[in-house]
Structure 1
Amino acid sequence: MTSRLSLNQATTTQWDIPSFVDGCARAGVTQVGLWRGPVADHGLEKTAKLARDAGLTVTSLCRGGFFADADAIADNRKAIDEAAALGTSILVLVSGGLPPGSSDIDGARQNVIDSIAELAPYAAAQGVQLSIEPLHPMFAADRCVVSTLDQALDMALLFPANQVGVCVDTYHIWWDPGVYQAIARAAGRISIFQVCDWITPLPEGVLLGRGMMGDGCIELRRLRAAVDATGYAGPIEVEIFNQSIWDSPGDEVVDRVIGTYQEHVL
């Protein structure tokens, strides 16, 4: 029942890397999504060894992108190297928002394409696929100028499938009236599928508005079935940004993740 389940590290920020690996092993979770910050804090090689020794598969690394930053290309090359070292073939890209003082969203989106064009061959040579993640439009100004799955797919299709795919995150795409057509169109390009729920009212600071599966309004099972219908049979990552979850004991969070995943996603 949980063979596809992957626990994204963002769901349990109360744990450092060793605690996260240990907690997953105790719960029988065999797949994990990692974030660059905690990995750097513990050490890249130490993290890779710890995961391997625990029998964990790293399903993705978050995040690359933020292409408006001055050092974006160099930082993304570093992120690609980190993904390869961790043994994952997926680097999730959050494109970034508008450059400071700019309102040129078309130019920002073109810069995303141009940056990916520069990075994609390097990533493929490392065995890493770049996975473009669209974020909800409320994040367009400061975090992600790619706002719909169709936009992400339009960009990905400019490149070979082994180089660039898309990340389907229920939190960011559930609202889109064209989402099911977009998912069908993404057949062969979905590199990672992430789930959580949309809770209301949103807390102050919408980044933390993700809920445990079943606590909100997203048709999670329907979206999962649509993704599966494309032929995607890969990991289903649970990624939840929520302060109350972060304030809870990690073992309790993992137990809830497993239970709500089985009840509301499968």
Structure 2
Amino acid sequence: MEPLKTIERLSLNQITTGHWNIRDAIDGCVRHEIPSIALWRHKVEEIGLAASKRLVQDSGLKVSSLCRGGMFPAATKSERQKRIDDNKRAIEEAAELGTDTLVLVCGPASEKNLPAAREMVADGIEQIVPFASDYGIKLGVEPLHPMYAAERSVIVTLSEANTIAEQYRPEHVGVVVDVFHVWWDPDLYDQIARAKGRIVGFHVSDWIVPTPDLLMGRGMMGDGVIDLRRIRKAVELADYQGPIEVEIFNETIWNRPGDDVLAEMKSRYLEHV
């Protein structure tokens, strides 16, 4: 398979430059001619929604997605409602920032009850779909690696994410394919094909061996064991031609000069994705 020849689909997921604020990340993308950026809500909150929107508009960058919504399961009805309300705020923020995709990290179990937590996820998504539709926002259900089930998400396979998304129209709910979370799955390619027309995001990084940290151990593309190009081609065969976000949680990378990270990211993207 041929490597990518252009960067027109490349997006900086701003967590890759974790110590940069939104202004730094946007300016970095402009300097390195990276056409899109994916924003995180806690970074938006640092300077406010209105200021973040102005920076994006002035830069000419596209916003590929906003992260994150989700975190639906909770022990009490009132707490679950607070999370629904927060997801509605996230939908409003996504619309203001000019993206059409809100990434859902669905949330861990409450009181060790995995089946109940998965029901809460399904119920939470059902409650916010009409609101998201009114704002033109697609909800992207992102399955996380099973090692995160206790802390971040009980949705741990692309099959589970597909089953949720298939309850809705493709323009309302889809799935996010993050190679770090799904590369290990023996059913991966069948599930990518099953998601045809429903993939709303594609995230790349690499799985380092040995893995230095469960959360902060992602590698730059080409430094690990993931067959990035094969997954990218499969996603394209499933009709996804949208932005490709580089999303790397790694303190060592965060501590490097941001411009060096973006230059390497761009090079590795072209070489390995």
TM-score (norm 2): 0.95
Q: Residue 252 of structure 2 corresponds to which residue in structure 1?
A: 244
Residue 159 of structure 1: how far off its partner (Å): 1.2
Are 2:166 and 1:157 aligned? yes
Are 2:85 and 1:85 aligned? no
Q: Residue 58 of structure 1 corresponds to which residue in structure 2?
A: 63
Q: Residue 266 of structure 2 corresponds to which residue in structure 1?
A: 258
RMSD between aligned residues: 0.7
Are 2:225 and 1:217 aligned? yes
Residue 162 of structure 1: how far off its partner (Å): 1.4
Counterpart amino acid of residue 98 in structure 1: A
The separation in 1 between residues aligned to 2:18 and 2:123, in whole angstroms, is: 33
Residue 145 of structure 1: how far off its partner (Å): 0.2
Instruction: Render the CA deviation track for 1:5-61: whole Å, top value 9, x for unaligned.
Output: 000000001211111111110000110000000101011111111111110000000
Q: Residue 52 of structure 2 corresponds to which residue in structure 1?
A: 47
Q: Residue 198 of structure 2 corresponds to which residue in structure 1?
A: 189
- Correspondent of 2:210 among 201, 217, 221: 201
Residue 166 of structure 1: how far off its partner (Å): 0.4
Instruction: Render the CA deviation track for 1:127-179: whole Å, top value 9, x for unaligned.
Output: 10110000000111121000000100000101111110000000000000000
Moved over 4 A (4+): none
The separation in 2 between residues aligned to 1:52 and 1:158, in whole angstroms, is: 35
Instruction: Render the CA deviation track for 1:163-210: whole Å, top value 9, x for unaligned.
Output: 100000000000000000000010010001000000121224x11111
Task: Report how many residues are paired.
Answer: 262
The separation in 1 between residues aligned to 2:55 and 2:151, in whole angstroms, is: 34
TM-score (norm 1): 0.97
Counterpart amino acid of residue 207 in structure 2: W
Please, which runs of 5 or more residues in structure 2 have no aligned partner? 1-5
The separation in 2 between residues aligned to 1:106 and 1:158, in whole angstroms, is: 18
- Correspondent of 1:130 among 128, 139, 143: 139
Are 2:153 and 1:148 aligned? no
The separation in 1 between residues aligned to 2:108 and 2:252, in whole angstroms, is: 28
Q: Secondary structure at the match of 1:176?
A: coil
The separation in 1 between residues aligned to 2:53 and 2:169, in whole angstroms, is: 28
Counterpart amino acid of residue 200 in structure 2: S
